Amino acid sequence: MHYPNGKKNNHTYQTLSSTRRSQGFSNRGMTLEEDINATNTYYRDRNKAIVHKKPTPVQIVNVHYPKRSAAVITEGYFKQPSTTDYNGVYRNKHIDFEAKETKNKTRFPLANIHEHQVRHMKSVTKHGGICFLIIRFSNFGETFYMPAEVFFPYWDEQLNGGKKSISYETIVEKGYPIPFHYQARVHYLAVIDQLYF
């Protein structure tokens, strides 16, 4: 496992399993999106970074009015494919990331990411932005930061007939654990600070 200071953790898989139990699940019941949104609010309130969730553009087609005071959308379509979930600015750098949560205990399915999102991430990276994925294994309560540059080879390999997922062990080895804090629940800036600043 890589830690933000660049040192490698030599724990075995068995040690990681026992670590999971001892970590506790202080944020159990919260979704990854809720945790990131709370973290981003904390960052903005303390003037650390400006990061927002991108709204998904939807075309409303049909609305039902069961009461005069209530409207129910009964039909709508996505106007266009969205890019990544979040973007913003931190320490004069554009940051852009996709957040995914999986209940799978052994792997992260690449079907969770879409081709247009990867194209967007490659473009951001090419132009010098900080781009990454936040992956949470919800059964373990573990959240990882995976740089886009590390993710791309796995994506490209599956397009050429390779594996359709990234193993949990690979994410532990090549990703960076994101520390949990009471207010910054998904404290990804701590990883960015170590990797880029």
DSSP letter for each residue of 53-111: EPPPPEEEEEEEEEETTEEEEEEEEESS----SEEEEETTEEEEEEEEEE--SSEEEGG
Residue 136 placed within a domain: yes
- Is position 21 within any domain? yes
Does residue 36 sit within a domain?
A: yes
Distance (Å, rounded) from C-alpha 20 to C-alpha 35? 19
Q: Residue 189 domain-assigned?
A: yes
| 83 marked ligand binding residue | yes
In a domain, residue 73? The reply is: no
Write the DSSP symbol of residue 145: E
In a domain, 165, yes or no: yes
98 is in an annotated binding site: yes
For residue 115 the two structure tokens come to: 């081709």
Domain that holds residue 179: 14-55+83-196
Query: For position 173, which CATH number holds?
Result: 3.40.1350.10
Q: Is residue 74 part of a domain?
A: no
Tell me if 171 is assigned to some domain. Answer: yes
Tens place of pLDDT per residue across the chain (197 aa): 555 555 444 433 333 333 333 333 334 445 999 999 999 999 999 999 999 998 666 667 777 777 767 777 777 665 556 689 899 999 999 999 999 999 999 999 999 999 999 999 999 999 999 999 999 999 999 999 999 999 999 999 999 999 999 999 999 999 999 988 888 999 999 999 999 99
Q: How many domains does the chain have?
A: 1
pTM of the full predicted structure?
0.76
Cα(3)–Cα(15) distance, integer angstroms = 16
Is 35 annotated in some ligand binding site? no
194 marked among binding-site residues = no
Instruction: Find tokens 């931190």 and name the residue.
Output: 90
Helices and strands of the chain, counted as H and E runs: 6, 10
